[in-house]
């Protein structure tokens, strides 16, 4: 079946470094992608999104890259801070009337001071 | 701005008991949904609604009922709780206004079934 997966389940970085979290998707019909951050005991928090007609989108300290040729999505966090420590999920919307999001299993980002 | 509010935050039930998880949003969002989150499984869609009076099943609907009598509220009912329903439940909402809007989540209800 179609699924969204992550290459790395855990990522540990030093404070101030840049972080890159990767995500692979298999549904070629997906046209909208979202990155969420989930801190312990909290719900997923929207970070940034991108439509399939774009290759790159930037936010505040975050950039999402979309490579449709290899069905790959990445989240780049610049100057990673301890407050960035969390689980990061990618999600894809394959379209259709149910607006269903398919989530990956998440990557745990740990920022070391 | 409260966003999506879920109550209760924690609940322990015995097998066979019933309960309702509450979800309310104050953003006038048309779409609301319920997910469960289990270790190693990611978030899975239980039920969703595209507007008041309209509900439909997600990928794991068995054992759960929903209703949508108002735009703001979308309660999730467990009619006869089972240990397999021990999980963290998240409610989310989004608007259809504008192209491709993300879903916004509440902080979850942590449910244990003994």
Residue A9, pLDDT score = 85
Kindly determine whether residue B100 and residue A32, on different chains, have CB atoms separated by under 8 Å.
Answer: yes
**pLDDT by residue (tens digit) across B56-78?**
999 999 999 999 999 999 999 99
Q: Residue for token digits 């309660």?
A: B75
Residue numbers in A near B103 (CB within 8 A): 34, 46, 101
Q: What is the residue-averaged pLDDT of chain B?
A: 94
Closest residue in B to A3 (Cα) is B42
In this complex, do A42 and B107 lie within 8 Å of one another by their Cβ atoms? yes
Which of A5, A30, A43 would you mutate first to test chain B, the one with the most B CBs within 10 A?
A43
Query: Within an 8 Å CB–CB cutoff, is residue B2 touching chain A?
Result: no
| Closest residue of chain B to A93, computed from CA coordinates | B100
Res A96: pLDDT: 63
Comparing alpha-carbon positions, the chain A residue that sits nearest to B42 is A105
Half-sphere exposure of B28 (CA within 13 A, CB side): 1
Question: Which chain B residues are within 8 Å of A6, Cβ to Cβ?
Answer: none
Residue A97 pLDDT class (50, 70, 90 cuts): low
DSSP A10-74: EEEEETTS-EEEEEEE--TT--EEEEEEE-TTS--EEEEEEETT-SEEE-SSEEEEEETTTTEEE
Q: B89 touching A, CB under 8 A? A: no
Least confident of A11-25, A67-81, A88-102, B5-19: A88-102
Q: Looking at the partner chain, which of B31, B42, B56 has a beta carbon nearest the beta carbon of A103? A: B42
- Mean of all residue pLDDT scores within chain A: 88
Q: Does B39 touch chain A (CB under 8 A)?
A: no
Q: Which range, of A9-13, B61-65, B82-86, averages the lowest pLDDT?
A: A9-13
pLDDT band at A7, cuts 50/70/90?
Answer: very low
B46: CB partners within 8 A, 6+ apart: B33, B34, B35, B36, B58, B59, B60, B61, B64, B66, B76, B89
With 70 as the cut, is the pLDDT of residue A5 above it? no
**Residue A40 near chain B (CB below 8 Å):** no
3-class secondary-structure state, position A84: helix
Widest pairwise Cα distance in chain B: 44
Residue A64, chain B, CB below 8 Å: the answer is: no
Residue B100's pLDDT band, with cuts at 50, 70 and 90, is confident
**Is the Cβ–Cβ distance between B40 and B50 less than 8 Å?**
no
pLDDT digits (tens, 9 = 90+) for A27-62: 888 889 999 999 999 999 999 999 999 999 999 999
Q: Assess whether pLDDT exceeds 80 at residue A98.
A: no
Confidence of residue B101 (pLDDT cuts 50, 70, 90): confident
Given a cut of 80, whether residue B41 has pLDDT beyond it is no
Range A60-85 average pLDDT:
96
């Amino acid at each position: 079946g179609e699924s969204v997966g992550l290459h790395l389940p855990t990522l540990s970085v030093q404070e101030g470094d840049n972080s890159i979290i990767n995500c692979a998707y298999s549904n070629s019909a997906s046209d909208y992608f979202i990155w969420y951050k989930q801190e312990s005991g909290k719900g997923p928090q929207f970070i940034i999104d991108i439509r399939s007609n774009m290759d790159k989108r930037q936010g505040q300290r975050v950039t999402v890259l979309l490579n449709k040729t290899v069905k790959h999505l990445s989240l780049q966090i610049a100057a990673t801070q301890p407050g960035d420590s969390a689980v990061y999920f990618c999600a894809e919307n394959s379209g259709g009337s149910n607006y269903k999001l398919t989530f990956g299993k998440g990557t745990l980002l740990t920022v070391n001071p | 701005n409260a966003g999506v509010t879920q109550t209760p935050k924690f609940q322990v039930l015995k097998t066979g008991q019933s309960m309702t998880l509450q979800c309310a949003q104050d953003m006038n969002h048309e779409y609301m949904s319920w997910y469960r989150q289990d270790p190693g499984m990611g978030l899975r869609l239980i039920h969703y609604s595209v507007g008041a009076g309209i509900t439909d099943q997600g990928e794991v609907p068995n054992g759960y009922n929903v209703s949508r009598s108002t735009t703001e509220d979308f309660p999730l009912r467990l009619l006869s709780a089972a240990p397999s329903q021990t999980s963290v439940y998240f409610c989310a909402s989004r608007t259809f206004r504008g192209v491709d809007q993300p879903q916004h989540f509440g902080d979850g209800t942590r449910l244990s079934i003994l």
